[in-house]
Homo-oligomer: A and B are copies of this chain.
């Protein structure tokens, strides 16, 4: 009953097997191998076009590299105050970009509010050397609080970016969950809606350590090879990144994995909706459930061995907390089983 994070899960069996299969004889190092080629081709297929692909082992690396490619040191990166890049990466985007500034926006459910973004840009001193220059907007798909951006929402944000000369970056640590949630085509919620560069996550969804910077805007590609190496993110035995990513993508494995996580979240939500002492904090659109628990429910769950995060503040998902309630975050993963959900139900008497 571990709902602490999707990254406490292990590796899906097909991906683990792929590592073993890749371990066959000698292979060219630093990404010049067959598996990396397969991963790249699979990503091109997924996105229905030629894309630039740079494999790295961590999501923070993918985000920091993508943002650095789009942002000069004197640039501003617009993002949600609750975004992972702002709160959980110890300043990696600042480091990789050479000291850019993250400018934070608000908005319910950790989704950027387009009106607020537009308003902030309206008052900005473009071309004024005293001010950092808006260079990039970063949004998370799905968001840190489990919501998804619909194609038209992305299109609106990308239109704002276009008008202000900014790149649109998508932190897709949970991209697969969003794709499954909306039953959308990956192309429709990225480049066709105006996304320029994507952190395509696999680690949270069943890989061991594999993410890709996927580049849709060609001028953002040139620096990334150097940036990745210089940031010490280029694997010597690159085939093992390639093998993970290829296995993740081939035969729709990634969508199957995300489907499991999303279904588990929906079931967990249903359990909470029926239970006493628990009130779901708002919509559940991917693999995260935010819930207000009263003391008894919290005690019962912890007593039953459930692991989850106490959250602080209000996630802005629409349902405010009440007296004696605390906010808790439950994350499901491909490895979340019926048993786990049933365990929650039992603990809550639901």
Enumerate chain A interface residues (CB-CB to B < 8 A): 2, 4-5, 7-11, 16, 19-20, 22-30, 56-61, 63-64, 72-74, 87-92, 94-102, 123, 129-133, 203-204, 208-209, 223, 225-237, 239-240, 307, 312, 335
Which residues from chain B contact A91 at a C-beta distance below 8 Å? Answer: 73-74, 99-101, 132, 230
For A94, give its contact among B22, B88, B101 (CB under 8 Å): B101
- On whether the beta carbons of A129 and B90 are closer than 8 Å, the reply is yes
- On whether the beta carbons of A92 and B223 are closer than 8 Å, the reply is no
- On whether the beta carbons of B19 and A231 are closer than 8 Å, the reply is no
Q: How many copies does the complex hold?
A: 4
For A209, give its contact among B9, B97, B209, B335 (CB under 8 Å): B209
Considering only CB atoms, which chain B residue lies closest to A99 in the complex? B94
Which residues from chain B contact A10 at a C-beta distance below 8 Å? Answer: 22-27, 237, 239
Most B-side CB within 10 Å, residue of A27, A28, A57, A312: A57
- On whether the beta carbons of A230 and B89 are closer than 8 Å, the reply is yes
Which residues from chain B contact A19 at a C-beta distance below 8 Å? Answer: 11, 16, 19, 208
Which residues from chain B contact A64 at a C-beta distance below 8 Å? Answer: 232
A240 to chain B, nearest CB (A): 5
Main secondary structure of the interface of A (DSSP, over half): loop
Considering only CB atoms, which chain B residue lies closest to A65 in the complex? B232
A19 to chain B, nearest CB (A): 7
Known A10-B23, A29-B8; contact A232-B60, beta-carbon cutoff 8 A: yes
Which residues from chain B contact A30 at a C-beta distance below 8 Å? Answer: 129-130
Considering only CB atoms, which chain B residue lies closest to A87 in the complex? B131
Which residues from chain B contact A88 at a C-beta distance below 8 Å? Answer: 130-131
Which residues from chain B contact A98 at a C-beta distance below 8 Å? Answer: 73, 95, 98-99
Which residues from chain B contact A100 at a C-beta distance below 8 Å? Answer: 91, 94
- On whether the beta carbons of B26 and A8 are closer than 8 Å, the reply is yes
- On whether the beta carbons of A237 and B16 are closer than 8 Å, the reply is no
- On whether the beta carbons of B95 and A131 are closer than 8 Å, the reply is no
Known A11-B237, A232-B60; contact A225-B129, beta-carbon cutoff 8 A: yes
Which residues from chain B contact A5 at a C-beta distance below 8 Å? Answer: 29, 236
Which residues from chain B contact A123 at a C-beta distance below 8 Å? Answer: 312
For A226, give its contact among B8, B11, B29, B74 (CB under 8 Å): B74
Supplied contacts A26-B335, A98-B99, 11 more A-B pairs, CB within 8 Å? A4-B28, A7-B236, A8-B29, A9-B26, A16-B20, A61-B233, A73-B95, A91-B99, A92-B232, A94-B100, A95-B98
| CA A131 to CA B92, docked complex, whole Å | 10
